[in-house]
Amino acid sequence: MSERPALKVLVFLEASNVAGAVKPILEFAREAAAGSGGRDLSLTLALYARAGQPSDLIDHIRDLGISVEIIAERRAFDPQVLPQLRELARKLQPDIVWTNNTKSHFLVRLSGLHRSCEWIAFHHGYTKEARRTRVYNELDRWSLPSARRVVTVCNDFARQLESKGVPAARIRVVRNPIRVSPSLGEAERARLRAELGLGDASVLLSVGRLSREKGHADLLRALQVLRKSRNAKAPLHLLIVGDGPERGNLRSLCSTLDLEDCVTLTGHQADVAPYYASADIFVLPSHSEGSPNVLLEALAAELPIVATAVGGVPEVLSDEVNALLVPSQAPEALANAIGRLLDDTELRQRLIANGKEVVTQHNPQAYFRNVVGIFEEVMGEAAATRR
């Protein structure tokens, strides 16, 4: 281990469960605890919490033995959070502040924390939800140009950041990591399939937040096309794992398309591994994406993939090599690609075999080294400025 003093890092998180942009941070924390890369880090995760709202994430982080600080808030963008942020920085004296969401980007900029330590903002893209959320997203135009570095997950997002006024020299692209878990085995697969009443159906799986840009409505329409064209073939069943504002609309669309008997909306699941183990094909129908964790999870679970060629997806996957890529918002193309995989065993096996190389390129150790490299780069610049 290096004799240099531990680098103190304070991470702000806006989440209540282990999903999405939280996963890379937890992988980073695990590698830091394991002493990867020969660099001592003192890592603290700070989470916003409201009275009466449970947080599985807080319990999970504590179970991992990671230091946690709680920032009490009454509502979104509560001004009483600002003095808490300043007091937390005074107490911990971090070398680096790591923000992970529009809210924390804005609050760190507004509170002036970036003037007392080095600020690195991690950008994961935007969701198209309530008008208020879209307004908050625009705050990045004011916040992010003040960060010492902005780390994002794909080149497409890097170009978007430049359009928001972030200097290109300050942007770094670091793709998300995946930690391969042991296979659950045939017994667990059989148990869940029986529990869900899947029988001998070919199971399609999609995992993600239920919001419009994730394209689940397109997937339902593709499923309707498949059912009509495959009447005499094995039945199909679609599992959609996740929750969000589109849940009600998707239920209504299932009814309209007469798909209620072959679609299961599971809601949020703390452990998604059994669903990957139960599936035959993974489908990502998004309209926009960065570097989706779920694609890496599907590759690690050895599932063949159909995905839309949006955002950073083509930077991770290659059409006909390790996935089938189709245009976004094109249910017919989605249906055709899924149909090819259902009918072609050799194609499925080839995509799965080629996908293993992608998984090895996105390991947590490489992610840790890349992020620590940015830390060192920033700290070196700061030291040079002080000389």
Query: How confident is residue 113, by pLDDT bands cut at 50, 70 and 90?
Result: very high
DSSP at 20? T
Q: Taking 70 as the threshold, does the pLDDT of residue 50 lie above it? A: yes
Q: Mean of the pLDDT values across residues 366-386?
A: 91
**Mean pLDDT, the chain, as a whole number?**
90
Which residues, 6+ apart, have CB-to-CB distance to 124 below 8 Å? 20, 21, 100, 101, 152, 153, 157, 290
Over the stretch 67-87, which tens digit does the pLDDT of each residue have? 899 999 988 778 899 999 999
CATH number of 185-361, picked from 3.20.10.10, 3.30.200.20, 3.10.20.30, 3.40.50.2000: 3.40.50.2000
Which residues, 6+ apart, have CB-to-CB distance to 365 below 8 Å? 31, 36, 37
> How far apart are the C-alpha atoms of 245 and 25, rounded to whole Å?
25
Q: Taking 90 as the threshold, does the pLDDT of residue 214 lie above it? A: yes
Q: Taking 70 as the threshold, does the pLDDT of residue 128 lie above it? A: no
Interior angle at CA 77, CA 72 and CA 83, nearest 5: 55
Q: Which two tokens stand for residue 218?
A: 């397109």
Backbone phi, psi, residue 284, to 5°: -115, 105
What proportion of the chain, given as a percentage, has pLDDT over 90?
69
Q: Taking 70 as the threshold, does the pLDDT of residue 194 lie above it? A: yes
Residue 149: its pLDDT value, please?
97
Number of other CB atoms surrounding residue 268 within 10 Å: 15
Q: Mean of the pLDDT values across residues 325-330?
A: 98
Q: Which two tokens stand for residue 16?
A: 């209540």
Query: How confident is residue 387, by pLDDT bands cut at 50, 70 and 90?
Result: low
Q: Mean of the pLDDT values across residues 285-314?
A: 94
Q: What is the 3-state secondary structure (H, E, C) of 32-56?
A: HHCCHHHCCEEEEEEEEECCCCCCH
Nearest residue to 267 via CA among 242, 286, 285, 288? 242
Which residues, 6+ apart, have CB-to-CB distance to 35 below 8 Å? 1
How far is Cα of residue 139 from the mean position of the Cα atoms in its chain?
Answer: 21
DSSP string, 141-204: HHHGGGSSEEEESSHHHHHHHHHTT--GGGEEE-PPP--PPPP-HHHHHHHHHHHTT-TT-EEE
Are 13 and 100 within 8 A, CB to CB? yes
Instruction: Specify the CATH class of 7-177+363-386 in words.
Output: alpha beta
**Residue ranges in 215-292 assigned as alpha helix (H):** 216-229, 247-256, 273-278
Residue intervals of the chain classified under CATH 3.40.50.2000 are 7-177+363-386, 185-361
Residue 2: its pLDDT value, please?
47
Q: Taking 90 as the threshold, does the pLDDT of residue 22 lie above it? A: no
Can you give the length of the chain in residues? 387
